[in-house]
Structure 1
Amino acid sequence: MAGVTGIGSGIDIDGIVSSMVAAERAPKETQLANLEKKTTTQITAVGALKSAVSAFQTALESLNKPELFQARSATSSKTDLVGITASTTAGAGSYQVEVKSLASGSKVALAAISNTTEAPAAFASGTLSISLGVPGSPPTTESFSITVDESNNSLAGVRDAINASGNEMGVSATIVTDEEGSRLVLSSSKTGAGRDIRLSVPDEVAAETGQTALSSLAFDGAASSTGAGPRVLSSAESAELTIDGLRVLSETNKVEGAIEGVTLDLKAETADNEPLTIGVVVDEAGVKKQVQSFVDAYNKLIGVINAQTKVAPVGGGAPVTGALVGDATARTLLGTIRNELVNIQGDGAIRALTDMGITTQKDGTLAIDSDKLDKTLAGSFEQLSGFFTGDTGLAARLDDKLKPYTETGGILEQRNKVMTETISGIDKQKEDLTRRIASLQERLYKQFNAMDLLVGQLSNTSSSLLASLDNLPWAANNSKS
């Protein structure tokens, strides 16, 4: 509340009030600003810590998988001819493979039909059945049928009906026009000897004038005629290959079960007497990569903790302190992890990380002796699995220690909640300070303005008294003398 200033007293009331208000406001504002800055920095630090712990837990989860240590690495000397994948049941070994022929599907061209723009073909009504032989003992047949009537009795209509109904069975149709006329050409995506396409007409209506008998599309899939007759363009065949000289037949080009746990993807035939080599070995490289990911995630976590809890000297000036220096949460977390890492497990060849070449450095991070780890992978692979995996393995034990920190409602979340509440409290204190300072300023202005008014009144009274005294007789005589 600003008013007319210093009229009665000549005092700079605005300056005095501003100075007094600033003196009252500054210490509290500085205190709140410092607390807000510190708390915000700690919130950021705790967030970074939680993120690093979560990343470490992800690495632990990936490491705690028995199937990782059961994985197989499969190789082919000529991947353009034969691809290979291996499951955990595959035995280690090397094999010589020759691909004699690839599996193929059936393809037939039906009898040529006169079909022009001026006189398009029109079939008599009836039922057309398309079937594929299925190898077996005894062989069976899978089939589908289409109904031909006035709505679809053209070549294009029959083609579309076959494509719509034959999709699930892998049969498709198209129209090819050669020197003899237009033909329906049917292809099957199903491979394997005996899966040849056959067409029959179990039910048809006699052709009317200008129509073509539906039975003209019948084909037994075997007899291949010339001229306008139907013909086999390619027969359905099984793949033939040899594995270490043993003959193998497969209905498809994905050969499963010939070698236990191994799938061969046949892409092309091999040259005569030039077999390729396929190999299956334990996937040591995959395990080593995962161990490296574990070490990297741990080192990242240590880096975050070190950055937030250490005091770093800076030349001759004040040292730079981390946001969590002296923080009990960070110290306890670090101590818990380190205690678990050095814990001796079992009585085999691998009882601790040092047994596989993983050691702790001066800064608390881990380092891998690659040669020693390779020797461990080669000589004690199964023991390595037992050390890391399972309910009592290192990965599970570490994860159990870390869960209280990162789970919902855990230590770090509670810590963050408290600091967030502190920030909210600071905002409230700022509002309270603003109200208190405004009240103080208003009170001071009232007091100083009242004083200024009183001083003005006293000054006027003093002047009036002096004037009255000057007019008294004795004062006048004195002035004459």
Structure 2
Amino acid sequence: MGDISISGPVTGIDTQSIVTALVNAEQAPKQSQINKQSTTSTAQLSSIGKIQAALDAFRGAMDNMAKDASIGGLTATTSDANVSTVTLGANASAGSYQLVVNQLATASKIATKTYAGGASTVVNASASATSLTISQSGQSYAVSVPPGATLQQVRDSINAQLTSSGLSANILTDATGSRMVLTSTNTGVGTDITVGGNSGLETGTSLVGGAPQNAKYTIDGTPQESKSNTLTEAISGVSIKLTAVSPWPAGVTDANSSGVLRSSSTITVARSTDTLKSSVKGFVDTYNALITAIGAETKVTTNPDGTTTSSALTGDATMRTLQSAIRAELNAMAGTGSLKSLAQFGVNTDQSTGKLSLDDKLFSAAIATNPTDIGGIFNGDKGLLARMKSATDSYALSGTGVLATRKSTLSDTIKDLQTQQDTLTARMAALKISLTNKYTTMNNLVAQLTAQRSSVMTTLDALNNPKTS
């Protein structure tokens, strides 16, 4: 509201101050309510967002641990990282395996004829659109080739439409011109790419690199095949990615390899106390990070003068139930071994902060005699990791979870408070104008009365004073 000077020249009253005081008195109660609710809602929205981020990180860590059998104290290694890489998963068990890779799985590749004009060659010079049909494994995909389309534009259109189907295109250029090469992320026998349609691109195509083939390998001497170079079931609980054919023994080449086997590499799944301890420590740290985040938004701070300051979510019922759900699963007994709780492994809970700590001495003693029990506590459908995830599902679900709903409600509240603020501001502006007009009218009336009084007094004075000759 702009300042309006209405001080009366006749009355001498500071009517501007009176109007301001009256407007402020009218505005103060509602303004105080809006300010308080806005501050509270904004702080709570920020705090809920921080808790949600911490909970998402915690749940993500639980997922990763559930997929990684290192929480059970196992590690997977290979003696030749050039031939394969290995990743440990759930349900793995200790063991040693000999791997020989004789052939990698390959993908189908097909090339168009060479266009002397390069990638900018117009492949559809007609006035109407044509079509290029790409087929693989019983599925066909039609790509429209509009009038005036170049080889580059067709390539871009294929990649935009078919990448999610595993198909892609590229352009190879040399001194003779450019050709488009179609390939696929799908490998193995039966994944041949064929092209058809009426675009002209299907004419003069050629196979690049031969027909697609399966990976051929042996594990402990047993011949096996796979359409993919990623083996997820060859060894239970271990994912193997084949990256190269196994080398020949020293002094042997393709030319003299008749009857000679390629060199094997060793895949080892072994128990590691250090890995187990590191994994448990990782769980402790992840859990503590969530508890710390909740604590920071719910704590009560004691000030130097003895007063206390509450946080945005101090006493919040949602935070209490979330913590209770997590702690209930943490303290529940699990596993099939003789040791069924984390406390028996030296993982202790601080009663004042709720955080976990690891007693190195007790942990080392426990796993020295019961190393497999820790996996039973953490892993499986009824293990701690799965139960922690399940206990927080209702809070973390996107859009419909407790925290998401709270954030939505708080956001709506803040928007409503802004609407209330706008309405109040407009009402106070109207009130100031109304009061200003009333006091201006009063001043004008007083001015008129004062003028009339002055005229009357002048007349009376004239009548009372004798005329001089």
Superposition TM-score, scaled by structure 1 size: 0.58
Please, which of 255, 261, 271 is the counterpart of residue 250 of structure 1? 261
1:452 aligns with 2:427: no
Separation (CA, whole Å) in 1 of partners of 2:371 and 2:277: 11
Separation (CA, whole Å) in 2 of partners of 1:239 and 1:24: 101
Separation (CA, whole Å) in 1 of partners of 2:92 and 2:32: 69
* 1:306 Cα deviation from its structure 2 partner: 1.3
| Conserved 8 A contact 2:334-2:376 | no
Identical-residue share of aligned pairs (%) = 30
Separation (CA, whole Å) in 1 of partners of 2:50 and 2:87: 40
* 1:51 Cα deviation from its structure 2 partner: 1.1
Equivalence for 1:12: 14
| Conserved 8 A contact 2:62-2:386 | yes
| Conserved 8 A contact 2:6-2:439 | no
| Conserved 8 A contact 1:72-1:281 | yes
| Conserved 8 A contact 2:336-2:373 | no
List aligned pairs for 1:182-201, cutoff 5 A: none
C-alpha distance 369-469 of structure 1, shift in aligned 2 (>3 A)? same
Separation (CA, whole Å) in 1 of partners of 2:86 and 2:5: 90
Separation (CA, whole Å) in 1 of partners of 2:426 and 2:81: 80
* 1:70 Cα deviation from its structure 2 partner: 7.9
C-alpha distance 379-420 of structure 1, shift in aligned 2 (>3 A)? same
1:301 aligns with 2:282: no
Q: Deviations over 1:165-212 (max 9, x none)?
A: 99569xxxxxxxxxxxxxxxxxxx99659xx9xxxxxxxxxxxxxxxx
Please, which of 415, 419, 422 is the counterpart of residue 406 of structure 2? 415
Equivalence for 1:45: 47
**Aligned-partner SS, 1:281:** strand
| Conserved 8 A contact 1:93-1:280 | yes
C-alpha distance 419-432 of structure 1, shift in aligned 2 (>3 A)? same
Q: Deviations over 1:135-169 (max 9, x none)?
A: xxxxxxxxxxxxxxxxxxxxxxxxxxxxx999569
* Higher Cα radius of gyration: 1
* 1:7 Cα deviation from its structure 2 partner: 2.8
Separation (CA, whole Å) in 1 of partners of 2:329 and 2:81: 48
List aligned pairs for 1:326-341, cutoff 5 A: 326-341=315-330
* 1:328 Cα deviation from its structure 2 partner: 0.8
List aligned pairs for 1:27-66, cutoff 5 A: 27-65=29-67
Equivalence for 1:315: 304
**Aligned-partner SS, 1:471:** helix
**Aligned-partner SS, 1:10:** coil
| Conserved 8 A contact 2:69-2:92 | no
Query: How many pairs are equivalent?
Result: 322
* 1:348 Cα deviation from its structure 2 partner: 3.8
List aligned pairs for 1:81-480, cutoff 5 A: 92=95, 236-237=255-256, 250-251=261-262, 253=263, 255=264, 262-263=266-267, 281-316=270-305, 318-345=307-334, 348-361=337-350, 362-408=352-398, 409-472=400-463, 475-476=464-465
Superposition TM-score, scaled by structure 2 size: 0.59
Separation (CA, whole Å) in 1 of partners of 2:447 and 2:208: 111
Separation (CA, whole Å) in 1 of partners of 2:443 and 2:419: 36
Note the residue ranges of structure 2 that are not aligned, 5 or more in a row.
103-205, 212-244
Separation (CA, whole Å) in 2 of partners of 1:5 and 1:13: 5
| Conserved 8 A contact 1:59-1:297 | yes
State the Cα RMSD in Å: 3.9
**Aligned-partner SS, 1:359:** strand
C-alpha distance 28-326 of structure 1, shift in aligned 2 (>3 A)? same
| Conserved 8 A contact 2:335-2:373 | no
| Conserved 8 A contact 1:66-1:390 | no
C-alpha distance 353-393 of structure 1, shift in aligned 2 (>3 A)? same
C-alpha distance 381-333 of structure 1, shift in aligned 2 (>3 A)? same
* 1:436 Cα deviation from its structure 2 partner: 0.8
C-alpha distance 307-375 of structure 1, shift in aligned 2 (>3 A)? same
Separation (CA, whole Å) in 2 of partners of 1:420 and 1:85: 47
Separation (CA, whole Å) in 1 of partners of 2:82 and 2:64: 33
* 1:426 Cα deviation from its structure 2 partner: 1.5
Equivalence for 2:118: none
